[in-house]
Amino acid sequence: MQQPTKYIDPLIDFAFKKIFGSDPNKDLLIDFLNEVFRGRKHIIDLVYNKNEYPGDLINEGSVIFDLLCTGAHNEHFIIEIQRGKQQNFKQRALFYTSRLISDQAPKGRRSVWRYDLTEVFLIALLEDSVAGDFQEDQFLHDICLCDRDTGKIFYDKLGYIYIELHKFVKTSDQLETGLDKWLFVLKNMSSMDKIPAYLRKPIFEKLFNIAQFTNLTKEEKMLWDNNAKHRWDNKNVLDYAINEAREKGMKLGKETGIELGIEEGLEQGIKKGIEQGIEQGVRQGIEQGIEQGVRQGIEQGLRQGIRVAVLKMKDNGLSVQQIAEIMDLQLSQVEEL
């Protein structure tokens, strides 16, 4: 069993749910969410719901949230942690919130209901980018439905708040708001050996006490160790796959590029004359061929890398469902590899 630091990493699945996912600690989640909403909402109480949300039909799959809570006014809060890149994370967020919205419809007497929807919010803590259209220098993205031309909010009962933790780079002497302090703690607590003076307030003192490794039970320490091991193993497997794919892609790309460049260069060089054609055509052909070959090689290498990563994760005991979520693949694709 490994004890890397005095405090457990709150961004690892077990630690996040221990800190934020139980009734005795819901004051921590309430305080964090109030800082995330920055005065736009004031949450006074939360009720934790089951994180597995079954479908209405037998053949309809379940949705599994990291955390799902209901507020005092029946508003819904989905809290998700995304630890790696996922191409379709925005689509998954839309799907999650859509399930909560559609489930509000009563089974009968909809004319009485009149589509009186309650609020639904998804808060996502991202350790890596999931969308290329976010501003490079902005770590918090508050998304809502609005008029494209005027910017006026069209519907304020549905919202998505994305927090890109890798873009939060403030140092301890730059923390100004409560949200700054929360994000700094989430990123850095596992590397601290005591609670800093600037965090000496009851809510953070409780947080540090809960997160202290020596305060965990024997069973919790085993869960922590297993979660941490899976995270580190998966990261190593993914890093290895990416590096191997890059090397294979570059090698194959160079070889293909040289061949394509020579062929195209000779063809164009003959038309323009032996001396001028060979000199100019080969140069242009090699450049274009290498570019196309590298691109084709990288694509082929990445596909091979994904296969290697999936097989490594299977060897490490990950389920098909876990691998599919990590690699953004269909279950059938994972099973075929």
Residue 244 has pLDDT above 90, yes or no: no
Which pLDDT does position 242 carry in this prediction?
55
Q: What does pLDDT average to over the chain?
A: 83
pLDDT tens, position by position, 125-163:
998 876 666 777 899 999 999 999 999 999 999 999 999
Which pLDDT does position 294 carry in this prediction?
63
CB atoms near residue 90 (< 10 Å): 16
User: Following DSSP, what letter does each residue of 32-50 receive, concatenated?
Assistant: HHHHHHTTS-----EEE--
Mean pLDDT of 22-45: 95
- Indicate whether this model's pTM tops 0.75: no
Which pLDDT does position 24 carry in this prediction?
94
DSSP annotation of 54 reads -
Which pLDDT does position 236 carry in this prediction?
56
Residue 277 has pLDDT above 70, yes or no: no
Q: φ and ψ at 42, to 5 degrees?
A: -125, 110
Q: φ and ψ at 212, to 5 degrees?
A: -70, 125
Residue 240 has pLDDT above 60, yes or no: no
pLDDT tens, position by position, 210-236:
999 988 888 888 887 777 666 555 555
Residue 54 has pLDDT above 70, yes or no: no
